């Protein structure tokens, strides 16, 4: 069952947290459906594991033939590997960074993305959706080279892809976090390795602080709400990550043997 992050007469934001069975192999992921005036967009619909349930969930709000967009924050498998099925089952256009527009056709059968792809320039933009719009905000290198976040001015939710994520079960991810401190151990390791640098985090925080945000909702783990939003900005601004932490010790010719499934 999806969580309703927001709803009014013509607009709704739904979050699916548990479409992927927790068998330990695939990381927990959230998928999002924005509904506005009889149409909608799926944000970061994920891989084939999530397709059926998300498609069914969407059908309860409007006909799949009314889906306007499949929106991808970046091109990772947990974001958009189900692209071929979405393009087959709906008339929606894929919205993704120009950096990835010539790479994502590898997820589909030949010719499937023709006339179906909106390549977003690095500066982002405002995308009409029903009677509203979604703001496509630059979030490059957080973590992907061509990366966008999505701000919904109706619900004031900022969808942040892999930024702000935490590692937890789908059930736990349904409960928004309001105090960041006890939540940090679930976030820290991921951000230190997957985010590219403190410089980019600071640039992003300076942009994000200008928005009126009701909730910051990542693609893995729980949404951040209330005081946790400002606490997250403070934490991200001071976090050393990615290339800040890498030096010559990380680039040595390896001597470790890799045996079968486990590493010694
Ligand atoms: Fe990713
Ligand atoms: Fe992800």
From the CA of 139, the nearest ligand is 1
Q: What is the pLDDT of residues 35-61, one digit of tens each?
A: 999 999 999 999 888 899 999 999 999
- Centre of ligand 1 from the C-alpha of residue 143, in Å: 6
For residues 184 and 139, what is the distance between their CA atoms, to the nearest angstrom? 21
List phi, psi (to 5°) of 160: -110, 20
- Centre of ligand 1 from the C-alpha of residue 162, in Å: 6
Closest CA to 42 of 98, 2, 101: 2
Q: What is the pTM of this model?
A: 0.96
Average pLDDT over residues 198-212: 98
- Centre of ligand 2 from the C-alpha of residue 170, in Å: 14
For residues 173 and 29, what is the distance between their CA atoms, to the nearest angstrom? 9
- Centre of ligand 2 from the C-alpha of residue 262, in Å: 24
DSSP 3-state of 43: strand
Q: What pLDDT score was predicted for residue 264?
A: 45
User: Which contacts of 206-211 are long-range, i.e. CB under 8 A and separated by 24 or more positions?
Assistant: 207/137, 207/138, 208/137, 208/158, 208/233, 209/233, 211/151, 211/156, 211/158
Q: How many CB atoms lie within 10 A of CB 171?
A: 11
- Centre of ligand 1 from the C-alpha of residue 76, in Å: 5
Q: What pLDDT score was predicted for residue 113?
A: 94
DSSP 3-state of 111: coil
Q: What is the pLDDT of residues 108-148, one digit of tens each?
A: 999 999 999 999 999 999 999 999 999 999 999 999 999 99
Q: What pLDDT score was predicted for residue 80?
A: 96
């Amino acid at each position: 069952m999806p969580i309703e992050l927001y709803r009014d007469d013509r607009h709704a934001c739904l979050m699916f947290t548990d479409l992927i069975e927790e068998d330990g192999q695939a990381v927990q992921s959230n998928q999002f459906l924005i509904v506005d005036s009889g149409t909608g967009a799926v944000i970061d619909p994920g891989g084939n594991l999530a397709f059926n349930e998300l498609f069914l969930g969407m059908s309860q709000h409007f006909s799949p033939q009314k889906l306007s967009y499949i929106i991808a924050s970046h091109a990772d498998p947990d974001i958009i590997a189900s692209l071929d099925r979405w393009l087959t089952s709906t008339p929606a256009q894929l919205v993704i960074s120009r950096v990835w527009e010539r790479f994502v056709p590898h997820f589909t059968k030949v010719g499937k993305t023709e006339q179906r792809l909106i390549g977003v320039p690095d500066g982002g933009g405002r995308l009409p959706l029903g009677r509203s719009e979604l703001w496509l905000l630059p979030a490059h290198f957080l973590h992907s080279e061509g990366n966008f976040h999505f701000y919904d001015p109706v619900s004031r939710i900022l969808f942040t892809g892999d930024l702000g994520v935490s590692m937890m079960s789908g059930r736990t991810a349904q409960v928004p976090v309001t105090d960041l401190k006890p939540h940090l151990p679930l976030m820290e390791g991921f951000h230190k390795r997957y985010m590219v640098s403190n410089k980019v985090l600071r640039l992003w925080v300076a942009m994000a602080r200008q928005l009126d945000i009701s909730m910051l909702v990542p693609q893995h783990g729980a949404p951040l709400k209330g005081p946790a939003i400002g606490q997250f900005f403070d934490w991200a601004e001071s976090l050393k990550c990615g290339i800040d932490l890498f030096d010559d010790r990380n680039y040595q010719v390896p001597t470790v043997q890799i045996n079968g499934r486990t590493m010694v």
